[in-house]
Amino acid sequence: MINIRIPWAKPTFYGKEKEYLLDAFESTWVSGGYYVDKFEDEFRRYNGSEYGITTCNGTASLQLAILALGIGPKDEVIVPGFTFVTPANIVIEAGAIPVYVDVDPLTWCIDPNSVEKYITSKTKAIFAVHVYGNVCDMDTLNNLAKKHHLYIIEDTAEAALSKYKGKCAGTFGDIGCFSFQATKTITMGEGGFVLTSDKGLHDKMRIIRDHGMRKDKHYWHDVVGYNFRLTNLQAAVGCGQLEHLNSIISDRQRVHSLYLKHLANEPGITFQYFKPEVAPIVWAIVLKIDSKFFKGDRDFLIKALLEFGIETRPGFYPFSLMPLYNAPTLTIAEDIGANVISLPSFNTLTEDEISFICDKLKTIRK
Ligand SMILES: Cc1ncc(COP(=O)(O)O)c(C=O)c1O
């Protein structure tokens, strides 16, 4: 068995997460409670959004968005070809049709210039997935949405704390969705969030999250709902994280710049490109590999690094390669999916560990 010396991801707890968790536990408010309300208010304010609701995970956040926007059977929703799978699954689960479009070869986010040709009279929404901490071209997407009367759902699961033109990712579309799963930039084990500036959408989402039950009449239901609630225990951990956002940001930036220092000028290695208007808080450090410069392809690199105890991840498989999704060829997504490798990216990585990872990567050169 291979001994993992440096894992791909590891959560970092900076301060009072444990104290608040025990406090929530001892209060016996283990379902809803004080920390849920506190996290809701503080995270919403940090992002500069009018309304915010905690949820049990990122997947539930996306589902809440789709339900609140009334997207259902026969509606079409535009989904980028290169992303973690959730947006497509949620669209399919709603009975709607995902329309897959290719991504930008440099930013790896949805290519806004190829979106318009996929818009039909049935299109209801565009999923703007902020991949690996980058932020999509929100100006172009919002202009398209306005022109064609479409909703924008921002999948900000990988881009908490990233900014676009000085504003937080997740505040540009109709609804911004977040995940607080263990590997994410802010974590509470599992958890999620939705942001919106629309009171109507907020009210709908709050009710759907809570079994569809009316707020002023117990056990009365006007809409079909779910239980997408976050627990007070998880929110307590989240409140501890919110007290250290500056440390999370500076640690993520330190890790990113150390990788750039070691690898930016290496032939055969390309980093994800961030446009000047994006201030990314990178969730995962991901490199595109040109296998001509290495002893093998990306999958060979993953195995070779594992031999040194370094755990990595491949890129997302594009929808076009997974028969389940029945997607057309997506040339750029396929190229990125086949050639990117995600390196250990957690907040407490030391310079020595990053040097070790980069040195080992260089030993796999031709
Ligand atoms: C882009 C994206 N969307 C949605 C999700 C789903 O979030 P969760 O795992 O919290 O359900 C994830 C990751 O886990 C993700 O990376």
Residue 320 Cβ contacting ligand 1 at under 6 Å: no
15 contact partners, CB below 8 Å, separation of at least 6: 240, 243, 244
Buried b or exposed e, range 150-180, using 16+ CB within 10 angstroms? bbbbbbbbbbbbbbbeeebbbbbbbbbbbbb
Q: Are 239 and 231 in contact (CB under 8 A)?
A: no
- CA–CA separation, 364 and 293 (whole Å): 9
Alpha carbon separation from 317 to 36, 60, 96, 190, 338 (Å, rounded): 35, 22, 22, 23, 7
- CA–CA separation, 310 and 304 (whole Å): 9
CATH topology of domain 245-363: Aspartate Aminotransferase, domain 1 (3.90.1150)
Q: What is the pLDDT of residue 219?
A: 95
Give the tokens for residue 108.
């790896």
Please state, rounded to an integer, the average pLDDT across all residues of the chain. Answer: 97
Q: Say whether 73 sits in a helix, a strand or coil.
A: coil
Ranges of the chain whose pLDDT falls below 70: none
Q: What is the pLDDT of residue 353?
A: 98
Ligand 1 atom having least distance to the Cα of 57: 10
Residue 234 Cβ contacting ligand 1 at under 6 Å: no
Give the tokens for residue 13.
């707890």
Residue 129 Cβ contacting ligand 1 at under 6 Å: yes
Residue-wise pLDDT for 55-96, tens only, equals 999 999 999 999 999 999 999 999 999 999 999 999 999 999
CA of 292 to the centre of ligand 1 (A): 33
Residue 181 Cβ contacting ligand 1 at under 6 Å: yes
DSSP lists the bridge partners of residue 152 as: 126
Domain range summary for the chain, segments of one domain joined by +:
17-242, 245-363
Q: What is the pLDDT of residue 22?
A: 98
Ligand 1 atom having least distance to the Cα of 181: 10
CA of 91 to the centre of ligand 1 (A): 14
Same fold, 17-242 and 245-363: no
- CA–CA separation, 164 and 136 (whole Å): 9
Amino acid identity at 329: T
Among 313, 68, 320, which Cα is nearest to 201's? 68
189 contact partners, CB below 8 Å, separation of at least 6: 180, 181, 182, 234, 237
Q: What is the pLDDT of residue 8?
A: 98
CATH number for the domain formed by residue range(s) 17-242 = 3.40.640.10
Q: What is the pLDDT of residue 2?
A: 77
